[in-house]
C-alpha cells in the first residue's frame, strides 16, 4: 500500500512547480521559508531579520506578519520555525521539468496528452486544421479509433525531421528576422499589423529552435505557415519604408501642434478608440480629448478637439499615467479622479478612511477589474476594489502596466512580471517566464494582450508570448500529510518545529489532559512536542494551502495494456470482440496504438470500453443473489414438482450462480473499477 502511495506521489511531483511561492516582503523565492506560528503565513529567512524589532530592555523580539499584521513575540536569539513542508518541496522539485517538455514525446492534437513519438501517428491533410486551438495532425492511437477513424486519409507513423533540414530552414529566415529588428529600432513604434506579423514570425522561429524533435508533417506545415507570414510582410514592406522616413507620431505632435509644444510623451498619452487615434492633454484643471489624423507623406497632423472635462482644482494633479490600457489617472490620494478610455468618462474616486494617508510611494499597481477600480499597495498586502465601472481590459503598452485575465492580473514592472490572483489575494513573481541570460539587464518596455496571451517585448528587442494557460495555471504543487499520506486539504503547522500535518490528523495525534485543560501534539517527523490549550487548534499553513488549493492532481483510473503493458487512461482503453471470442477470454483490453498495430485488419470489431464504479458492480451482483433467493423461495412453495421442472429450476440456479461467481471474481481482480463493453 505504501509503495502505491509513493508511486502516486512521485508521479504527481513531476508535473508540479514551486517557482510561484514567493516571500511577501522581497518577492523572492521561499527557498528558506520561516513560518509565523500564530497565523501560518511564511516569509524567507533573509527577511526575518529585516522586519524584526528588538527590545533590548526586555530582551525580546517582535515580528509582525506582512500579510495579516499578526504579531509574534520571540526571546532574544530565537528564530521563527522553518516551514519544512515548503522547504522540502523546493528541495525535491527544484529544476524539474514538465513531462510535456520531453524530447521524445509530443502532444496529441485531440486529447492534448503527452505521448511518446513511437506511439504517435500523423495525418498530413488534417495537420493544418485547428480544433480548440490545437493542431490536429499528430494523433495517438486512442484518439484515432474514437475520433479519426471515419476519415479517409492515410495514416502514417510520426517521423522526426532531419536535423540538417531544420538548420537550413532556420538559416533561410534568420536574415529576415534581423532585418525586422533593425526596422523596429529605426521607427520606434511600427504599424500594428507589422508588429503582429513580427511576433508571429519570431514565435514560429523560436518554436522550431526550441524543438529537439520535429516531425516531417509538422515541419511541412510550419514552412507553409512561415511562407504566408513572409508574403504578408512583403505586402507591407513599402509602408514600413515610408514610416522609416517619417517622424514618430509624438514628434509630429510636438513640432507641428502648439497644443503639444513642450510636452513629453507621458504628458499627452495616445490611445485607440474605434480605429481612431486620440490623445489626452491635462492643463488648467481640464482634460481635453483630441482626435488626430496623421498625414505622414506630407508631414502634417490634423487635430480636432472632441471633448473637455473640468476637473477638481485641488484633487486632480499631475503626474498622470496609463495604469492599464483604459485607466488614466494620477497617483491615488484621499480623493481623486480617473479617466476611462473605453467610455471616455471621468470618474470620482474616494478611498476608504483608513487609506486617507496613502502616498505615491506605497502605490504599486492599478487596474479596472469586474466593474471595480482596484489598486495594490507596494508590498501587496491588500487588494482594494471599489465599484465604479463595468469593463474588461484589452490591450496596453506602458511601464508598470496591468493586464487582466479573468481572476488573474499580470503586472509588468521594469524587468519583473508579477501574477496577482484576485480570488486568493496572493501575489507571485513569475519573472522566470521571461528567460534572461547571465548578466542581462534588459527591461520590458512594451507589453500587450489579447484574449489568449500576453505579448512582452524587452528593450533588447526580444519578444515573448505567454499563453493564458501558462499564466493562469502556473500554480502546481504536490504535498502529502506524513501521517495519512493523503494530499493536504487544509495543512496545519506544528508551531514548535515547523512541520505540517493535515487538519484531519490533528485530532488523531492530539493527547488531551483534562485536568490541566491542555493538549500535546507530537510531530510524526521529528518527535518535537507542541503544547496547546484544550480548545486551541494549530494554525493553518497558508503558504502551503495557497500552493495546493488550485493544483490538485487530475488523476483518472488507469489500466495496463494487455499487449505492451503500458499504462492506459480510462478513456483510452479498447476491446476487440473478435479476438476475445477466438481466444475465449472475458475481454481483450489494449491501448489505441496496439489496436491499430495488431488489429488493423478488423478495426470494426475494436470498441472503446466503459468503466463503471465498484459500487455499481456490487449492486449488479447483488441483484443476481436476490434473483436466486427468489427462485429458491418459489421452489419451496411448489407442492407438486416434476423432475423436468426441478431440472429446469436447477439449471437456472446454476446459471445465476455462475454469474454471481464471475461477478465476484471480477471484483476481486479490480479493486476500484471494472470494465464493461459499450453496447453500440
Mean pLDDT of all residues in 346-351: 74
DSSP 3-state of 662: helix
CATH of 2-97+477-549 among 3.40.50.11540, 3.40.50.2300, 3.30.40.10, 3.40.50.1010 = 3.30.40.10
Q: Is the pLDDT of residue 459 over 70?
A: no
| Domain at 102-157: CATH code | 3.30.60
pLDDT at residue 560, rounded to an integer: 67
Burial zone of 628 (CB within 10 Å; 0-12 exposed, 13-18 middle, 19+ buried):
middle
Q: What are phi and psi of 602, to 5 degrees?
A: -140, 50
- In percent, the amount of the chain with pLDDT more than 70 equals 44
Q: Are 659 and 653 in contact (CB under 8 A)?
A: no
HEC assignment per residue over 585-618:
CCCCEECHHHHHHHCHHHHHHEEEEEEEEHHHHH
Burial zone of 130 (CB within 10 Å; 0-12 exposed, 13-18 middle, 19+ buried):
exposed
Q: Is 102-157 the same fold as 2-97+477-549?
A: no
Identify the weakest region by mean pLDDT among 134-138, 286-290, 463-467: 134-138
DSSP 3-state of 543: helix
Paired sense of beta strands 60-64 and 114-116, if any? unpaired
How many Cβ atoms are within 10 Å of 656's Cβ, its own excluded? 18
Break the chain into its structural domains and give their ranges.
2-97+477-549, 102-157, 163-244, 254-310, 319-418+449-467, 558-677
Q: Please indicate whether residue 620 or residue 431 has the higher confidence score (pLDDT).
A: 431
What are the pLDDT digits (tens) for 197-253? 666 667 777 776 666 666 766 777 777 777 776 666 665 554 444 434 334 555 556
Q: What are phi and psi of 318, to 5 degrees?
A: -70, 170
Q: Is the pLDDT of residue 33 over 80?
A: yes
Q: What are phi and psi of 30, to 5 degrees?
A: -85, 60
Exposure on the CB side of residue 469, measured as CA atoms within 13 A: 1
pLDDT at residue 164, rounded to an integer: 66
What are the pLDDT digits (tens) for 496-546? 888 888 888 888 888 888 888 899 998 887 788 999 988 888 988 887 777
Is the pTM for the entire model greater than 0.75?
no
Identify the weakest region by mean pLDDT among 152-161, 294-303, 552-561: 552-561
What are the pLDDT digits (tens) for 269-285? 667 677 777 777 776 67
pLDDT at residue 519, rounded to an integer: 92
Sign of the C-alpha dihedral computed for residues 314, 319, 323 and 324 taken in this order: positive
Identify the weakest region by mean pLDDT among 91-105, 358-372, 561-575: 91-105
Please give the Cα distance from 440 to 210 (Å, whole number): 20
- In percent, the amount of the chain with pLDDT more than 90 equals 0
Q: Are 379 and 66 in contact (CB under 8 A)?
A: yes
Please give the Cα distance from 493 to 87 (Å, whole number): 13
pLDDT at residue 241, rounded to an integer: 47
User: How does residue 264 score in pLDDT terms, banded at 50, 70 and 90?
Assistant: low
Q: Calculate the average pLDDT of the chain.
A: 67
Q: Are 479 and 85 in contact (CB under 8 A)?
A: yes
**Helix (H) and strand (E) counts in the chain:** 17, 41
DSSP 3-state of 69: coil
Burial zone of 117 (CB within 10 Å; 0-12 exposed, 13-18 middle, 19+ buried):
middle
pLDDT at residue 305, rounded to an integer: 82
Mean pLDDT of all residues in 162-180: 61
Q: Write the Ramachandran bin of 274: left for phi over 0, alpha for psi from -120 to 50, otherwise beta.
A: left
C-alpha cell at 285: 484643471
Amino acid at each position: 500500500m505504501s509503495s502505491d502511495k509513493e508511486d502516486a506521489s512521485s508521479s504527481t511531483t513531476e508535473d508540479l512547480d514551486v517557482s510561484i511561492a514567493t516571500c511577501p516582503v522581497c518577492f523572492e523565492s521561499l527557498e528558506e521559508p520561516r513560518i509565523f506560528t500564530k497565523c501560518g503565513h511564511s516569509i524567507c529567512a533573509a527577511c526575518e531579520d529585516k522586519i524584526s524589532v528588538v527590545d533590548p530592555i526586555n530582551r525580546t523580539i517582535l515580528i509582525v506578519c506582512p500579510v495579516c499584521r499578526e504579531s509574534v513575540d520571540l526571546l532574544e536569539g530565537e528564530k521563527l520555525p522553518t516551514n519544512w513542508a515548503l522547504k522540502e518541496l523546493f528541495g525535491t522539485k527544484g529544476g524539474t521539468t514538465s513531462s510535456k517538455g520531453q524530447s521524445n514525446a509530443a502532444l496529441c492534437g485531440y486529447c492534448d496528452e503527452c505521448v511518446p513519438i513511437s506511439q504517435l501517428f500523423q495525418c498530413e491533410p488534417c495537420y493544418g486544421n485547428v480544433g480548440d486551438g490545437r493542431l490536429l495532425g499528430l494523433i495517438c492511437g486512442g484518439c484515432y479509433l474514437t475520433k479519426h477513424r471515419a476519415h479517409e486519409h492515410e495514416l502514417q507513423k510520426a517521423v522526426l525531421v532531419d536535423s540538417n533540414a531544420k538548420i537550413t530552414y532556420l538559416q533561410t529566415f534568420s536574415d529576415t528576422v534581423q532585418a525586422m529588428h533593425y526596422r523596429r529600432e529605426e521607427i520606434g513604434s511600427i504599424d500594428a499589423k507589422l508588429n503582429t506579423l513580427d511576433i508571429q514570425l519570431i514565435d514560429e522561429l523560436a518554436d522550431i529552435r526550441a524543438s529537439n524533435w520535429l516531425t516531417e508533417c509538422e515541419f511541412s506545415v510550419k514552412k507553409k505557415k512561415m511562407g504566408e507570414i513572409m508574403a504578408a510582410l512583403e505586402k507591407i514592406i513599402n509602408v514600413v519604408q515610408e514610416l522609416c522616413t517619417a517622424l514618430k507620431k509624438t514628434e509630429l505632435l510636438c513640432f507641428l501642434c502648439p497644443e503639444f509644444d513642450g510636452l513629453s510623451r507621458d504628458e499627452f498619452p495616445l490611445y485607440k478608440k474605434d480605429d481612431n487615434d486620440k490623445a489626452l492633454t491635462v492643463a488648467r484643471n481640464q482634460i481635453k480629448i483630441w482626435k488626430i489624423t496623421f498625414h505622414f507623406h506630407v508631414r502634417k497632423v490634423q487635430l480636432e478637439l472632441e471633448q473637455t472635462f473640468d476637473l477638481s482644482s485641488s484633487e486632480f494633479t499631475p503626474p498622470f499615467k496609463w495604469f492599464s490600457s483604459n485607466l488614466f489617472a494620477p497617483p491615488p490620494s484621499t480623493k481623486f479622479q480617473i479617466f476611462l478610455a473605453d467610455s471616455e468618462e471621468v470618474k470620482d474616486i474616494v478611498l476608504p478612511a483608513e487609506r486617507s494617508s496613502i502616498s505615491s510611494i506605497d502605490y504599486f499597481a492599478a487596474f479596472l477589474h469586474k466593474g471595480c477600480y482596484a489598486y495594490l499597495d507596494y508590498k501587496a498586502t491588500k487588494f482594494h476594489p471599489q465599484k465604479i465601472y463595468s469593463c474588461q481590459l484589452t490591450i496596453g503598452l506602458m511601464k508598470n502596466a496591468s493586464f487582466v485575465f479573468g481572476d488573474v492580473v499580470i503586472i509588468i514592472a521594469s524587468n519583473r512580471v508579477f501574477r496577482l490572483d484576485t480570488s486568493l489575494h496572493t501575489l507571485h513573481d513569475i519573472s522566470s517566464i521571461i528567460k534572461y541570460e547571465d548578466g542581462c539587464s534588459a527591461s520590458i518596455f512594451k507589453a500587450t494582450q489579447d484574449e489568449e496571451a500576453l505579448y512582452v517585448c524587452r528593450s533588447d528587442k526580444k519578444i515573448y508570448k505567454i499563453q493564458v494557460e501558462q499564466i493562469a495555471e502556473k500554480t502546481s504543487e504536490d504535498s502529502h500529510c506524513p501521517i495519512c499520506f493523503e494530499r493536504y486539504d487544509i495543512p496545519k503547522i506544528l508551531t514548535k518545529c515547523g512541520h505540517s500535518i493535515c487538519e484531519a490528523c490533528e485530532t488523531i495525534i492530539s493527547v488531551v489532559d483534562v485536568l490541566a485543560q491542555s493538549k500535546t501534539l507530537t510531530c510524526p517527523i521529528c518527535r518535537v512536542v507542541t503544547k496547546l490549550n484544550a480548545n486551541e487548534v494549530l494554525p493553518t499553513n497558508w503558504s502551503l494551502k495557497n500552493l495546493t488549493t488550485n493544483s490538485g492532481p487530475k488523476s483518472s483510473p488507469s489500466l495496463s495494456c494487455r499487449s505492451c503493458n503500458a499504462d492506459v487512461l480510462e478513456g483510452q482503453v479498447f476491446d476487440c470482440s473478435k479476438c476475445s471470442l477466438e481466444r475465449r477470454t472475458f475481454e481483450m483490453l489494449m491501448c489505441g496504438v496496439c489496436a491499430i498495430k495488431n488489429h488493423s485488419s478488423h478495426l470494426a470489431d475494436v470498441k472503446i470500453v466503459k468503466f463503471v464504479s465498484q459500487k455499481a458492480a456490487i449492486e449488479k451482483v447483488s441483484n443476481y443473489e436476490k434473483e436466486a433467493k427468489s427462485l429458491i423461495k418459489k421452489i419451496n412453495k411448489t407442492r407438486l414438482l416434476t423432475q423436468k421442472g426441478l431440472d429446469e429450476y436447477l439449471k437456472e440456479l446454476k446459471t445465476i450462480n455462475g454469474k454471481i461467481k464471475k461477478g465476484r471474481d471480477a471484483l476481486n481482480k479490480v479493486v476500484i473499477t471494472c470494465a464493461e463493453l459499450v453496447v453500440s
